[in-house]
Structure 1
Amino acid sequence: MANGIMEQTIPYTDLTVSTLLFAIIVLVAGFVIVKFLVSMFRSGIKSTKLPELVVEFLTRFLSILLYIMVVFAFLGTLGFDINGFVIGLSAVVGLVLGFGLQDTLTNLAAGVWIAALRPIDMGEYVKVNGESGTVKAVGIMATELLTPDNQYITIPNKLIWGSPVINSTRMPTRRVSVDVGIGYSSDLEKAIRVAIELMKGHSLVLTEPEPAVVTTELADSSVNLQLRAWTNTGDFWTVKNELTAGIFEAYRKEGIEIPFPQLSVHLEKN
């Protein structure tokens, strides 16, 4: 009875129940095997100490190839002419490219160059093509960024490769800049001295290069200064926040005015 059911033909097709079940088994087993092989590949390639970005790119590339092979095996089990299917797919790809839609190949090539030359790397904070975020992955077609407020951004690889990239975390140290204005009646030398002492007294500010204060502008209502201190890249935002709050408290304690824009309006009686 069971054999009879297995050999029954599915309506509107030439497939038997046994053929369909076997094809499904091939598909499921293929997906499981692909995950296993990709996991082994990732572990093995990590032992070569290649950059994480390259590991991620190669792993994704291999995964896509293996999944395509599984789909072809599934179709072949169902009795489809795989050779004819491949030829037909090639013709479609050629037609697409003939209409000028080369973005897929362009993104693929750009992804290879990004993985090889690494203008960006996993975990780095970058700004590219007007978007900023931490690099999560460079895929076959697109690069993935995560913003500080947890927004996920996908940018086509060709835009990454064809645009200037500002990498904020590649170098081991960075310069922190804090702008502050003082009143024209304030003692400029004292203001600079207080700012220097504040920076030198901060435990995360490096001694080399030495902290500095420069006068950046003689504005309408203030003399604008800029505190410049070097720190380790990982401490950048901590130092910036603490110096910003610290200079406000230090100037208030020392009686140094931090002015705000004021508008004087004179009324004349006719």
Structure 2
Amino acid sequence: MSLWFNVIPYTGITLSRLIFAIAVLIAGFVSVKFFVYFFRKGVQKTRLPELTTQFLANFLRILLYIIVVLVFLKSLNFDVDSFIVGLSAIIGLVLGLGMQDTFTNITAGIWVAAIRPIDREEIVVVNGQTGKVKSVGIMSTELLTPDNQLITIPNKLVWGSSIVNMTRMPTRRASVDVGISYSSDIEKAIKIALDLMKGHPLILQEPEPAVVTTELASSSVNLQLRAWTKTGDFMGVKNSLTAGIFEAYRKEGIEIPFPQMDIHVKEIKREAKEIQKGVGIINLD
């Protein structure tokens, strides 16, 4: 029995105290998992956004882990109070050496989670990156691109830049650009495009579909088809309009030209004459 009270060499800690401290550490980590789990369940009942719930759960998890570690050290008879004071001093020193960005990211993450310019599963453009929002963590935000690449952006760049939320609004306008030749009938081309959009089952009739002339380009008269649809149908409408206008114009004889350039070459052939005395004969062929 005395074995349990033997002091481990060079530590001043008995075997029984070490085993007790390890048990406290394991029980603490397990308790944190259960506590965070029930915390998430409770917060979800308040109908807070999933993004906010996830952020609060992550923040609470880290805080509880720190507390468990401090209790573990206290169980080993460490001077936790002195440790906390020392840790505070270290944090102050680190801040002075350039950790301001860390706390800037934490603060920005809190603002993003609270004000919600973005939310989980929304498609956004943030700091020039486009993707679906997967999570907003304490330090960074994760986007998943359409080709399944995960992009991690520091929160300070999210909060400090313009955010384009592509799926927040219930409707969007799909725009399709198409060029017709100068010899084509513009009025006919516009009518064909309007008929195509008005007959599309996924295109809203209010606001009305429209066709505008956007540019008199070097090889074509450029038109733009503008149609409003539900946000969830946006990509399908855009793709079907692009293919549909091509088929409709080909069927009705409206030419969609490809870029071209006419080059006129004039051949000059002569025998050079003596330009001045002392200047040789120059032949240009």
TM-score past 0.5 threshold? yes
What is aligned with 1:240? 238
Matches within 5 A, 1:1-270: 3-269=1-267, 270=269
Using the TM superposition, name which of 106-115 and 163-172 deviates more. 106-115
CA distance in 2, matches of 1:74, 1:62: 18
Compute the displacement of 1:156 (Å): 1.3
Aligned counterparts of 2:237 and 2:97: Cα–Cα separation in 1? 54
The number of residue pairs the alignment matches comes to: 268
Alpha-carbon distance, 1:40 to partner: 0.4
Q: Deviations over 1:86-127 (max 9, x none)?
A: 111100111122234311221121111111111111111111
Counterpart CA distance in 1 for 2:22 and 2:266 is: 90
| Structure 1 residue 16, shift from structure 2 partner | 3.1
Deviation string, structure 1 residues 115-163 (Cα, Å, up to 9, x no partner): 1111111111111111111111111121111111111111111111111
The answer for unaligned runs of 5 or more in structure 2 is: 270-285
Deviation at 1:23, TM superposition (A): 2.1
Rounded Cα–Cα distance in structure 2 between residues aligned with 1:267 and 1:8: 103
Amino acid at match of 2:189: A
Structure exhibiting the larger radius of gyration computed from Cα positions = 2
> In 1, Cα distance between the equivalents of 2:26 and 2:245?
63
- Paired with 1:100 and 1:77, the residues of 2 have a C-alpha distance of 34
Query: 1:5: how far off?
Result: 4.6
CA shift at 1:229, angstroms?
A: 0.3
Tell me by how many angstroms 1:18 deviates.
Answer: 2.7
Amino acid at match of 2:17: T
Flag as ranges the 4+ runs of structure 1 deviating above 4 A: none
- Comparing 67-76 with 237-246, greater Cα deviation is found at 67-76
Secondary structure (helix, strand or coil) at the match of 2:257 reads coil
**Structure 2 Cα separation of the partners of residues 152 and 5 of structure 1:** 53
Deviation at 1:265, TM superposition (A): 3.7
How far apart, CA to CA, are the structure 2 residues paired with 1:85 and 1:45? Answer: 33
Cα offsets for 1:25-61 (capped at 9, x unmatched): 2222111111101110101111011111211111111
- The two structures, once aligned, show a CA RMSD in angstroms of 1.5
**What is the one-letter code of the residue matched to 2:47?**
K
CA distance in 2, matches of 1:68, 1:101: 19
User: Once the two structures are aligned, what percentage of the paired residues are identical?
Assistant: 68
Q: What letter corresponds to residue 80 of structure 1 in structure 2? A: F
Select between 142-151 and 13-22 the one with higher mean Cα deviation. Answer: 13-22
Counterpart-to-counterpart distance in 2, 1:28 and 1:254: 75
Q: Which stretch of structure 1 is more off in the superposition, 169-178 or 5-14?
A: 5-14
- The residue type equivalent to 1:40 in the other structure is F
The TM-score, its normalising length taken from structure 1, stands at: 0.94
**CA distance in 2 between partners of 1:5 and 1:219 (Å):** 92
1:258 partner amino acid: I
SS of the residue corresponding to residue 205 of structure 2 reads coil
Counterpart-to-counterpart distance in 2, 1:11 and 1:241? 74
Q: Deviations 1:170-201 (Å, cap 9, x if unpaired)?
A: 10000000000001101101111111111111
Offset from partner CA, 1:58-82 (integer Å, 9 cap, x none) = 1111111111111111222222211
AA in 2 matched with 1:226: Q
2: CA distance, partners of 1:251 / 1:9: 91
